[in-house]
A and B are shown apart, each in its own frame.
Chain A
Amino acid sequence: ETGVTQTPRHLVMGMTNKKSLKCEQHLGHNAMYWYKQSAKKPLELMFVYNFKEQTENNSVPSRFSPECPNSSHLFLHLHTLQPEDSALYLCASSQGRSNEQFFGPGTRLTVL
């Protein structure tokens, strides 16, 4: 595997379900990010981890819970989501807080 990978690629869940999104980067980077992209909207930064420590939380509801066990892996735990949370969730990584971020292919989430 190379670059940034995300699983699953597609996820359909009910509002009472608990699920997790996984991201793995094979680039040796030490910063990882979660973004949300809703239809026709800009990418919205959700969380930033630098050296496994969360450095940013952009007012994200607590039903989204990130976890970064090491510099290569990032999870987004989902619990009691709302239909408006349906979106493309993108993971990215970078070397430190450099400008250039490398993105995974995203997880297309649908909340019923």
Chain B
Amino acid sequence: DQQVKQNSPSLSVQEGRISILNCDYTNSMFDYFLWYKKYPAEGPTFLISISSIKDKNEDGRFTVFLNKSAKHLSLHIVPSQPGDSAVYFCAATGSARQLTFGSGTQLTVLP
């Protein structure tokens, strides 16, 4: 059973609009959450993270929101750019410091 779920395999957004990628988790012991971005033929690259003691972390156009009671996090990208088109992976970790990944969401930003 997947402990980290990304229920939308794909998302298309118009350039300049907001992209919202969602992630749900089931393990209440997770205390740190990360988003990775992956282009074709490249490995995943770290994008942004959030600790469970926070509910929001912002870095430029990227903001991650954490709702612990709902065991849900989301990544907001605004404004979206064509170069943001990639697969986005949500990951979570607990005290063991092993990353548990979701299956990814393919974001396509249309010019």
- A99 with B98: CB separation less than 8 A: no
Assess whether A104 is in contact with B98, with CB atoms less than 8 Å apart.
no
By the criterion CB–CB under 8 Å, are B46 and A98 in contact?
A: no
Cβ contact within 8 Å between B97 and A100: no
Docked pose: A9 CA to B103 CA in angstroms: 22
Bound-state Cα–Cα, A78 to B66, Å: 40
- Total number of A-B contacts with CB less than 8 angstroms? 50
Q: Are B49 and A100 within 8 A (Cβ)?
A: yes
Q: How many residues of A contact B (CB 8 A)?
A: 22
Of the candidates A4, A40, A100, A105, the one whose C-beta lies within 8 Å of that of B103 is A40
Given A40-B9, A42-B4, A43-B89, does the pair A103, B97 have CB atoms closer than 8 Å? no
Among B44, B102, B104, residue most surrounded by chain A Cβ atoms (within 10 Å): B44
Q: Give the docked Cα–Cα distance between A55 and B84 (Å).
A: 35
Q: In this assembly, does A48 line the interface, its C-beta being within 8 Å of a C-beta of chain B? A: yes
Which one of A9, A101, A105, A106 lies within 8 Å of B99 (CB-CB)?
A101
Given B4, B46, B104, which contacts A101 in the complex, CB threshold below 8 Å?
A: B46
Q: Give the residues from 89 to 109 in chain B that come closer than 8 angstroms, CB to CB, to chain A.
A: 89, 93, 97-104
- The verdict on B2 contacting chain A, using a C-beta distance below 8 Å, is yes
Are A99 and B49 interface neighbours, CB within 8 A?
yes
Supplied contacts A42-B101, A100-B46, A105-B43, 6 more A-B pairs, CB within 8 Å: A40-B9, A42-B100, A43-B101, A90-B44, A100-B34, A103-B36
Selected A-B contacts with CB under 8 Å, 9 pairs:
A42-B102, A45-B99, A90-B43, A98-B97, A99-B34, A99-B93, A100-B49, A102-B45, A102-B46
